[in-house]
């Protein structure tokens, strides 16, 4: 007990009340040096210079008075612990026990008092330790959330992409520290006659966006792969939808899956206000024809091997905004050695330390300087250029890229 | 640094926005929108002339605004710079909100 600084506050108006006298006598026997005071003296600031380890307060003080006394030393790095003591009337303890305070009961024997003081001091130190741990616990939880979100996201990226004969397909995914809702996907449909590719971006960041990403990926892939047979087509195709050119194979599942996902999100998740921008295309490997829906997504760049480019701008709003949204299917044909570069805003909105955006013009300039380049070089070239522009600035968003190139 | 200040003139609520509206500042924007929604205005003006950048998380705020305000409230985006306006337009939000190039006053 050596060295414990104790402040004892007795009953109102009775500085020498029996319990307090008995207690201070024993405290002296325990080699403690108690300072005995009263409620008014403390409020007058008489002991402000004292940094007590424990406050021993008579149970006759009200809970409000106890709170005011404790508040006086809350600024200390380790505020004092509190023990409430009483005489024979144990009922006085009840309101203090309800406040979660510790107690000291007579008879005040040396062994009992020593033990109670030691425990009181330990609890006080533990409270400090927990308080100090709290911020690091929050950080740990944040890190855990990041990890979970990232696992959800990466678990839904395809292990491999289909690569139709005569085509090259390459994808790049560079995660930012904070998880977002980017994803890409690729699968065959229409009995293997078509390959579908998809790049999407769920707005916002965090686990919510990652969960929406998982939901969207599942909805789109399932509908695209299972609703192509045509039996359901008449029911899935709305009368007010528009095709640019003849739709061809794959148009029904393409449209049905985007519309289905939109209907699902607007019917079930409108309140969360999440939306998804996506570029979803179906490739006819033999003819080079690609049909697509661009739902509010950054325009992919079509690179002509002969020189020149074209931006495939949105053909409908982002998915999840309106139940009556109209998505239009557009089409484009890739000649041999032409390529299509699809990306998310992590590319064009990457920023350098001066906060300047990478931007679409720089992306287009870079891509058009590589006419006829293989798909994997388009992906790695853009990633390198974005990283070079970013310099030492942190990567704030996921970078997702997909390149398709028709070889012959 | 994002900042949003709300002023009320009769039935019109104006939110002056400045800085960058991204995932980290979007929660502040959502709070201001909640405040605006409780006032049941006839028109909500989002004054964006000092808004430098809007990320998709910020566009999500506009979706929130559209939902919270109810169908009869006109939501106006005013004075947005080209890149901010492009980001909003690209998602298709211009069908549900009015985008004005310059201030009406």
**Per-domain boundaries in chain A:** 5-131, 156-406
Of A1-5, A250-254, B14-18, the range with the lowest mean pLDDT is A1-5
For residue A135, how many other CB atoms are within 10 A of its CB?
9
Of A85-94, A102-111, A131-140, B91-100, the range with the lowest mean pLDDT is A131-140
**Residues of chain B below pLDDT 50:** 104-105
Between β-strands A54-58 and A81-85, what pairing exists: parallel, antiparallel or unpaired?
A: parallel
- Write the ipTM: 0.87
Contact A319, A258 (CB under 8 A): yes
Q: Higher confidence at residue A284 or residue A271?
A: A284
Of A88-97, A201-210, A239-248, A351-360, the range with the lowest mean pLDDT is A239-248
In B, which residues are within 8 Å of A396 by CB distance? Answer: 22
Domains of chain B in sequence order: 3-100 (3.30.750.24)
CA angle A170, A383, A315 (to 5 degrees): 65
Q: What is the pLDDT of residues A327-364, one digit of tens each?
A: 999 999 999 999 999 999 999 999 999 989 999 999 99
Q: How far is CA A44 from the centre of its chain?
A: 50
Strand, coil or helix: A287: coil
Burial class (CB in 10 A: 0-12, 13-18, 19+), A390: middle
Q: Higher confidence at residue A233 or residue A190?
A: A190
pLDDT of residue A127: 74
Strand, coil or helix: A353: coil
CATH, domain range A5-131: 3.40.50.2300
Of A97-101, A262-266, A328-332, B7-11, the range with the lowest mean pLDDT is A97-101
- Residues of B near A (Cβ–Cβ under 8 Å) read 22-23, 26, 53, 55-57, 59-60, 63-64, 67, 83, 90-93, 95-96
Q: Which two tokens stand for residue B77?
A: 């985006």
What is the residue-averaged pLDDT of chain A? 87
Distance CA A180, CA A208 (A): 9
Of A113-127, A302-316, B51-65, the range with the lowest mean pLDDT is A113-127
Say whether pLDDT at A47 is over 60: yes
Smallest Cβ–Cβ distance between B63 and the set A201, A273, A345 belongs to: A273
Preceding peptide of A186 cis, ω within 30°:
no
CATH topology of domain A156-406: Phosphatase 2c; domain 1 (3.60.40)
CA angle A367, A393, A378 (to 5 degrees): 20
Strand, coil or helix: A163: coil
Distance CA A23, CA A33 (A): 12
Rounded to the nearest 10 degrees, how much is the dihedral formed by the CA atoms of B47, B50, B52, B55?
Answer: -20
In A, which residues are within 8 Å of B55 by CB distance? Answer: 345, 349, 397
**pLDDT over 90, % of chain A:** 44
Of A164-168, A240-244, A336-340, B6-10, the range with the lowest mean pLDDT is A240-244
Nearest to A342 by CA among A326, A363, A327: A363
Q: Which of A275, A347, A355 would you mutate first to test chain B, the one with the most B CBs within 10 A?
A: A275
Burial class (CB in 10 A: 0-12, 13-18, 19+), A327: buried
Nearest to A182 by CA among B65, B37, B55, B61: B55
């Amino acid at each position: 007990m050596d060295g414990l600084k104790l402040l004892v506050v007795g009953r109102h108006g009775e500085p020498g009340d029996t319990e307090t006298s008995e207690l201070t006598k024993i405290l002296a026997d325990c080699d403690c040096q108690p300072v005995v005071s009263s409620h008014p003296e403390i409020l007058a600031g008489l002991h402000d210079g004292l940094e007590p380890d424990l406050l021993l307060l008579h149970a006759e003080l009200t809970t409000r008075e106890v709170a005011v006394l404790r508040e006086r030393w809350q600024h200390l790095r380790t505020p004092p612990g509190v023990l409430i003591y009483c005489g024979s009337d144990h009922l006085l303890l009840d309101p203090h026990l309800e406040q979660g305070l510790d107690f000291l009961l007579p008879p005040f024997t040396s062994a009992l008092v020593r033990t109670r003081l030691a425990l009181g001091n330990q609890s006080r130190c533990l409270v400090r330790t927990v308080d100090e741990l709290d911020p690091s616990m929050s950080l740990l939880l944040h890190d855990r959330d990041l990890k979970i979100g990232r696992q959800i996201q990466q678990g839904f990226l395809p292990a491999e992409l289909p690569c139709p004969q005569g085509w090259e397909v390459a994808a790049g995914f560079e995660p930012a520290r904070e998880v977002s809702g980017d994803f890409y996907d690729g699968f065959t449909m229409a009995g293997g006659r078509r390959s579908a590719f998809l790049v999407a971006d769920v707005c916002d960041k965090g686990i919510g966006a990652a969960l929406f990403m998982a939901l969207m990926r599942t909805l789109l892939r399932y509908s695209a792969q299972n609703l192509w047979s045509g039996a359901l087509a008449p029911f899935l195709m709305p009368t007010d939808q528009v095709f640019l050119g003849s739709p061809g194979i794959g148009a029904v599942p393409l449209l049905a899956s985007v519309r289905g996902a939109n209907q699902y999100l607007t019917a079930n998740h409108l309140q969360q206000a999440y939306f998804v921008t996506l570029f979803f295309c179906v490739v006819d490997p033999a003819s080079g024809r690609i049909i697509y829906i661009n739902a509010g997504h950054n325009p992919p760049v079509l690179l002509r091997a002969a020189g020149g480019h074209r931006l495939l701008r949105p053909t409908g709003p982002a998915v999840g905004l309106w139940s009556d949204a109209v998505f239009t299917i557009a089409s484009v044909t890739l000649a041999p050695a032409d390529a299509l570069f699809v990306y998310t805003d992590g590319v064009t909105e990457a920023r350098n330390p001066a906060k300047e955006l990478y931007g679409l013009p720089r992306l287009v300039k870079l891509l058009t300087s590589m006419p006829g380049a293989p798909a994997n070089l388009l992906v790695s070239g853009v990633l390198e250029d974005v990283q070079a522009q970013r310099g030492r600035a942190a990567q704030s968003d996921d970078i997702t890229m997909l390149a398709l190139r028709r070889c012959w | 640094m994002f900042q949003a200040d709300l002023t009320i003139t009769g039935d019109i609520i104006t939110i002056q926005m400045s800085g960058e509206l991204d995932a980290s500042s979007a929660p502040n924007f959502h709070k201001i929108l909640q405040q605006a929604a409780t006032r049941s205005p006839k028109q909500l003006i989002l004054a964006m002339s000092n808004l430098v950048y809007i990320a998709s998380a910020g566009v999500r705020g506009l979706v929130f605004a559209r939902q919270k305000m109810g169908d009869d409230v006109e939501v106006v985006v005013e004075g947005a710079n080209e890149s901010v306006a492009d980001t909003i337009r690209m998602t298709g939000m211009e069908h549900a909100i009015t985008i004005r190039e310059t201030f009406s006053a």
